[in-house]
Chains A and B, each alone.
Chain A
Amino acid sequence: MRKYLLKRFLLMFPTLLGVAALIFFIMRVVPGDIVELRMMGDRGSVSAESVALERTRFGLDQPLWRQFVTWLWGVVRLDFGTSMWTGAPIFEEIKLRFALSFQVAIMSTVVAVVLAIPLGVLAALKQDTWIDYAVRIFSTAGLATPSFWLGIVFILALLIIFKWLPPMVYTPFWVNPWQNMAQLIWPALTVGYRYSAVATRMTRSAMLEVLREDYIRTARAKGLVEKLILVRHALKNAMLPVLTVVGLEFAFLLGGLVVTEQVFNLNGLGLLFVQAVQHRDYTLVQALVMIVAGFFIIVNFCMDMIYAWIDPRIRYR
């Protein structure tokens, strides 16, 4: 197992390097120049000499490979530099937004798990009955409904029926938990619904898989109480694929909430992403991509570790 895990660990680095190269390349190829954008503002024209001056200040006149190496060297030391648009250190820019996105991600996961596991188990136990169909329709609807549309409908409903709007400005949880929840519960529900759909389906199918095993069938014939105990047992075995799926979806959540954040006006990483790309803020975009991709890769690695621990084929290699 150790060799397996070491191999997976080492493979993280080429992937990260690949991501770094890709985003660096993409940002340089996309048309639009941050210096011009910044200096043009809302009005439209700017002189060539001031542009050239600024570009040297940002080091944009250096050969590409040198820019890449300088930046990469910084990343290795976890120094992401300063945002080209504001001049503030990237860490500052991201701090607040990361906290918000992370909280929404966690809350969505909680919503998803709380919905998915009971529903999935229920659907598996009552397979092919109307309960099963109802759960399948409910979860498939969760997959099918565009989350931004759901968000719009949510806000509209709140406005028209309750005449209430969620708070506009983010307050951290430890400052004012009530405000914080009032703002973030809605996007968490919207995202969590879709998230739960994936998890429900997986729970259901994993449970079905496990319940089919021979020893469960014999046990079923024995009686109610034993059946309940065996269901609990089945659940434990079914949890592995469910956990995998929940983990993988969670990894996508951090940078993947762009549209939700727009609808609910959350000042999160997704919105920062969009703004940074619009500004052609190379350093910020690159840093964000590295963070999001790094997060994804690390979560995947954790999943690998858990899998390796549980799956005897890998554990005793």
Chain B
Amino acid sequence: MNVRELLTEMKDTSEVIVDLAYASLMYNSDSMAEKVHDLEDDMDNLKFAIRYKVLMSCRTKEDARQLSGLLQVASAADRISDAAADIVDLLDVPLEKRPFVSAMLYESDEKIRATKIKSDSGMVGYTIGELAVEACTGCKIIALKGRQGWIYDPEDDVKIRAGDDIIVRGTEEGYNHLTEYASGKIPWDFPEESDEEPEEAEDEAENLEDDIGDDDE
């Protein structure tokens, strides 16, 4: 992986690891906590890899200045994952001593919720990517329990099957929609293919970035 890919991976991990950490407290799940620790180990490796690559690529003073900022971001992402690992260590506290935690987390702005895929759900047989679950519902699937057991932070190519349990992160409203899809109450609404030219989209993005950068001076 190059520096950019490493940093992307670290950013993604720093986000999903926190969701998983809170979810493991809500559902009192040791296996989810284990995944958090695995991700934290991955993060340590990514951090060393990125430091090494960055130091190798430094040639000038300006490089060093710019890249020190990049390393600070990488180190912040790593610290977020350390915090997530500390959060799941609370599972060692006996459940009866932390009854308020899951009730409290239930009320978060960003909701973590679980639901089951019924056999007549329109989602059955499609992958997470084909369904574009997050784009269509605002809910991201952070864990899925299928025949093979739990998959955490499932990739886009994971197929949804009848009987799967999923844990999602999103808004309450999005979750309500998702449960209707998951139970088969309403058929899945496939997004239409976008016919927009990618190049045009790029230009647009640049203009907008000017918009927001304007009054930095």
Do A and B actually bind?
no
Interface residues of B (CB under 8 A from A): none
